[in-house]
Amino acid sequence: MKNAALENCRKKFDMTAADMAAMVREFQSEMERGLEGRDSSLKMIPTFVDCATGKEEGSYIALDLGGTNFRVLGVRLDGRGGISVEHVGKYVIPTAVMRGTGEQLFNFIAGSIKEFMTKNRISASDDRKLGFTFSFPVKQTAVAKGVLITWTKDFSASGVVGNDVVGLLSAALAGYGLEKIEIAALLNDTVGTLVAKSYEDPGCDVGVIFGTGTNACYRERIDRIRKLPGLDGKGHMIVNIEWGNFSKAPANEYDRMLDQVSGNPGQQLMEKKISGMYLGELTRLLISDLIADKSLFAGEKVNFSRGQFESQHMSLIEADDSADLSAVKLFLGGIGIPDATLEDRAVLKEACRIVSDRAAKISAAALSAVFTWMDPKLDGKHTAAIDGSVYEKHPGFRERVLAALKELHGEKAGKLALVSAKDGSGVGAAVVAAVAASA
């Protein structure tokens, strides 16, 4: 009975090699449409910046906004591929500010920068260049200019969508007496991740975040960005794919349920299948069905309500390799289910595994689409710099992505390297500001 129920779940979340290959084709056709400026779930946003040479130097202020934590960093580049973070300030954005007005949000940011500078004795009367990592879909028109297209990840501050975020931040900085700060670059966290890594490793050509949200960027030939008129067509530019919004990955009833009650129905459909903000809830929906059909907790009514199960709990459960699944028992005890049997605990672990397995396969298919878009036969070597909590903390996630890439590309998968790029979104802001300054 339990095995049959789990088998049924497996089928719903199944992603075969043929499904992955079909997704790669769909993904590339959306990439092409996006680059041409046609309707597409992939926005393919030109960023007006290329990778670093490693020779950029100087001191910069870096801002990193993309989740509930906002960070300010003082970063020094030595001009020889070396980066040192001299100061770090972390600020928690109150929910009321995330969902209040844009003015409140940008004042909170400017106020935090002021505090950071005072604390670290950085004078406000000297000229300073700042790089601003803003991890939301932004339509850029220059390296330091861009309009927010839509909020994601539960942000909803009013008066920001449709406006230039650099203008909003400059105005707030002026209000705090910080006019000497020049915002030299606005960038996505994927771009920061790629550019920061490229500062030390010039072979890196893709930047990815598998975290609260998900997205990727890559180095594109300028002549292939057809929607950008007026460029001479030579060289490369990084394109922010905004892949979280890809709408053609296989979906099942649980995906549809989660989407319907989300804050942005119909949007970020791939993100809702693979990122930290949603994986827990997706698994909770599956678990609730297993409880309802008595395959879990003997069908006893347990209070397993929305938001109570998070992706970090999946990580904890899947990491439990003890014979009696003691960590799972402890977790269940903590949420008021102390009497779960060992079989229950095993079913729960398997349910998590089913959801995270599919996430890894969708992630691999998206990565494969990007690599083979740049190099269809994988003649050369490619490196993706990757950051984010799912990639860093979910047990076996990286290995499962690599295994799926092998399934898709056989021996040639050996040419694809996935390297960890911790904190790229922070230091990357400084490197992109330096690249922009030296352009």
Active-site positions read 153, 189
110, 65, 70, 108: which is closest to 89 by C-alpha?
70
Kindly state whether residue 244 participates in binding ligand BGC, applying the rule CB under 6 A. Answer: yes
> CB under 8 Å to 54, separation ≥6 — which residues?
80, 81, 198, 199, 200, 202
Of 94-102, 139-147, 206-214, 358-366, which segment contacts ligand BGC by CB under 6 A? Answer: 206-214
Rounded Cα–Cα distance for residues 83 and 86 (Å): 10
Kindly state whether residue 215 participates in binding ligand BGC, applying the rule CB under 6 A. Answer: yes
Distance of CA 139 to the CA centre of its chain: 17
318, 339, 394, 333: which is closest to 363 by C-alpha?
394
Site string for ligand BGC, 262-281 (x = CB under 6 A): ---------x----------
Task: Please state the closest distance from residue 119 (CB atom) to ligand BGC, in A.
Answer: 27
Number of residue whose CB is nearest ligand BGC? 213
Residue closer to ligand BGC, measured from CB, 207 or 250: 207
Residue closer to ligand BGC, measured from CB, 67 or 74: 67
Kindly state whether residue 424 participates in binding ligand BGC, applying the rule CB under 6 A. Answer: no
Kindly state whether residue 190 participates in binding ligand BGC, applying the rule CB under 6 A. Answer: yes
Rounded Cα–Cα distance for residues 183 and 330 (Å): 48
Task: Please state the closest distance from residue 69 (CB atom) to ligand BGC, in A.
Answer: 12
92, 100, 94, 214: which is closest to 156 by C-alpha?
100
Task: Please state the closest distance from residue 151 (CB atom) to ligand BGC, in A.
Answer: 9
Kindly state whether residue 188 participates in binding ligand BGC, applying the rule CB under 6 A. Answer: yes
Find the largest Cα–Cα distance for the chain.
71
Task: Please state the closest distance from residue 65 (CB atom) to ligand BGC, in A.
Answer: 10
Q: Which of residues 83-102 bind ligand BGC (CB under 6 A)?
A: none
Rounded Cα–Cα distance for residues 407 and 97 (Å): 45
Q: What secondary structure letter does DSSP report for 244? A: G
Q: Do 135 and 151 meet the contact criterion of CB atoms below 8 Å apart?
A: no
Q: Which of 56, 164, 242, 357 binds ligand BGC (CB under 6 A)?
A: 242
Q: What secondary structure letter does DSSP report for 217? A: E
> CB under 8 Å to 93, separation ≥6 — which residues?
68, 69, 70, 105, 108
Q: Do 88 and 71 meet the contact criterion of CB atoms below 8 Å apart?
A: yes
Of 96-104, 106-114, 205-213, 430-438, which segment contacts ligand BGC by CB under 6 A? Answer: 205-213
Kindly state whether residue 192 participates in binding ligand BGC, applying the rule CB under 6 A. Answer: no
Of 183-191, 293-301, 374-382, 404-412, which segment contacts ligand BGC by CB under 6 A? Answer: 183-191
Q: Which of 192, 207, 213, 426 binds ligand BGC (CB under 6 A)?
A: 213
| Interface with ligand BGC: number of residues (CB under 6 A) | 17
Of 131-139, 167-175, 349-357, 413-421, which segment contacts ligand BGC by CB under 6 A? Answer: 131-139
Strands 83-92 and 69-78: antiparallel
Rounded Cα–Cα distance for residues 73 and 309 (Å): 32
Footprint of ligand BGC on this chain (CB under 6 A)?
A: 66, 135-137, 152-153, 188-190, 209, 211, 213-215, 242, 244, 271
